[in-house]
Amino acid sequence: MVVDERMRSYYDARAPEYDDWWHGTGRFAARDRPGWEPDVHALLAAVAGLPPAHQLDVACGTAFLTRHLLGRVVAIDQSPAMVAVAAARLPHAEVVQGEAVPLPFGDDAFDRVITGHFYGHLLEAERAAFLAEARRVAPELVVIDSARGPDGEGEAWQERVLGDGSRHTVYKRWFTPGALLEELGGGQVLHAGPWFVMARSPRA
Ligand SMILES: C[S@@+](CC[C@H](N)C(=O)[O-])C[C@H]1O[C@@H](n2cnc3c(N)ncnc32)[C@H](O)[C@@H]1O
């Protein structure tokens, strides 16, 4: 597919240090992120509060969010390094290395697709293809992504530096709850905090 190659190689390289972003450790220790920790906890509570289901986490990364899902969980990510971390964390789930588009699953194979901090990395030309795949494999889609503050930018090409000094260019967006719901075609906001937004959208 479709998904920008730079994003893919960046996340594979970032896997060993990815959770520093969640925990505020390593390169993120010096960042001033007011309200980050309570918002992470509220987001995790919202994820854990989803009704148990047969669900697929697309672009699961290190499974920081995935491990809070209830029910029969399958997780997929394109990065071998992310999949290794996720598989160690999810002994009772199936963790697959593979692509988001096309998803290697049949029509209606799941009750729900969930995806965190992936949709907002997709370029405009990539979004419809991903949404069509998510809608094909499950009747419900839950999207978690970065919240857009009142003065925050909506999108950016960012230069990111990893611990080994390597530099990477990544496209990223931030969402208001309303804008995210509109893109998904309607649904319900499950979490709207200063850092994260989470929306559930049924298939039309
Ligand atoms: C920002 S991380 C999100 C990880 C996790 N969902 C979270 O919220 O912490 C984005 C993830 O998307 C994965 N990814 C990028 N392109 C992909 C693709 N085409 N198919 C599947 N996964 C992909 C990356 O490997 C990376 O793990």
Structure confidence at residue 6 (pLDDT):
85
The percentage of the chain sitting over the pLDDT mark of 70, rounded to a whole number, equals: 99
Cα(95) to ligand 1 centroid in Å equals 13
Q: Determine whether the shortest distance from the Cβ of 53 to ligand 1 is under 6 A.
A: no
Q: In the predicted model, what is the mean pLDDT of residues 57-84?
A: 98
pLDDT in tens, 180-201: 999 999 999 999 999 999 999 9
Which tokens sit at 124? 């405009």
CA 140 from centroid of its chain's CA atoms: 15
Structure confidence at residue 7 (pLDDT):
85
Average pLDDT across the chain, whole number: 96
Structure confidence at residue 4 (pLDDT):
74
Specify the ligand 1 atom closest to the Cα of 100.
20
Specify the ligand 1 atom closest to the Cα of 79.
25
Least confident window among 5-9, 43-47, 94-98, 157-161: 5-9
d(CA 14, CA 155): 21
pLDDT in tens, 135-147: 999 999 999 999 9
Q: In the predicted model, what is the mean pLDDT of residues 126-130?
A: 96
Structure confidence at residue 3 (pLDDT):
60
Only one residue has tokens 């971390």, namely: 85
DSSP 175: B
Alpha-carbon distance values, 103 to 59, 134, 164, 173 (Å): 11, 8, 32, 23
pLDDT in tens, 1-60: 556 788 889 999 999 999 999 999 999 999 999 999 999 999 999 999 999 999 999 999
Among candidate residues 59, 63, 56, the one with its CA nearest the CA of residue 2: 59
Cα(32) to ligand 1 centroid in Å equals 25
Q: Determine whether the shortest distance from the Cβ of 99 to ligand 1 is under 6 A.
A: yes
DSSP 3-state assignment of 74?
strand
Q: Determine whether the shortest distance from the Cβ of 119 to ligand 1 is under 6 A.
A: no
Domain architecture of the chain: domains with CATH: 5-18+55-202 (3.40.50.150)
Angle between helices 5-14 and 80-89 (to 10 degrees): 50
